Amino acid sequence: MDAKNNQVFKGSRETNSEDIKVGQRGSRNIDVAPENETLIALSDGLEDSDEAYHAALSFMEQPVKIRISPSAEKNAPTTVQCWVNGKGAEHFRNGKWLQCGWLPVGQEVVTRRKYVEVLARSRLESVSTRVVKHENREENMADRTASTKYPVSILQDTAEGHEWFSRILMEQ
């Protein structure tokens, strides 16, 4: 790929996933079956045209410089496994792409946007239940809270890439 089509934003702007509010699914009454709950939905509003499809694929192959924040837990992992369609994460090192299936934690690394999407969509969701008492009945509510599993900082990317990253994190 040529440099013109794969320009990297070199400004001082850094986008950190911990600074962006992660999309929340909220509470729901677990005594009532959900209505119109969509389990599978098309993403990013891609049209059926070949041009839009190829543009989206090209966008996901762009290089992005990131840093995965280390965890504060004892014996935290030093790498994160990351795969897309059976292909392990790639790093750009010494002028070439190396496929290894993992990304280092706490280090700056250049990888492809598709692997950054996997990290951004990896969430931990905790669920707690509570009983809401009304005059003549009770409701059992499930409260869900989501957070990022792998906090990521985008160090170098296009302006469009920074916006894309924020949008991915804010999705439910």
For residue 67, pLDDT beyond 90: yes
Amino acid identity for residue 149 in this structure:
K
Residue 171's pLDDT is: 82
- Evaluate whether 70 touches 76 at the Cβ level (below 8 Å): yes
Element at 113 (helix H, strand E)? helix 113-121
For residue 38, pLDDT beyond 50: yes
For residue 35, pLDDT beyond 90: no
Selected residue with higher pLDDT from 166 and 9:
166
Q: Quickly state the pLDDT bin for 59 (edges 50, 70, 90).
A: very high
Q: How many other CB atoms are found less than 10 A from the CB of residue 80?
A: 18
Q: Which two tokens stand for residue 89?
A: 């994460």
- Evaluate whether 99 touches 89 at the Cβ level (below 8 Å): yes
Average pLDDT score over residue span 68-86: 91
Residue 145: Cβ-neighbour burial (10 angstroms; 0-12, 13-18, 19+): middle
pLDDT tens-digit readout, 95-132: 999 999 999 999 999 999 999 999 999 888 888 888 88
This prediction's pTM: 0.73
Among 4-8, 39-43, 58-62, the minimum mean pLDDT is found in 4-8
Domain ranges, ordered by start, for the chain: 15-29+63-170
For residue 157, pLDDT beyond 80: yes
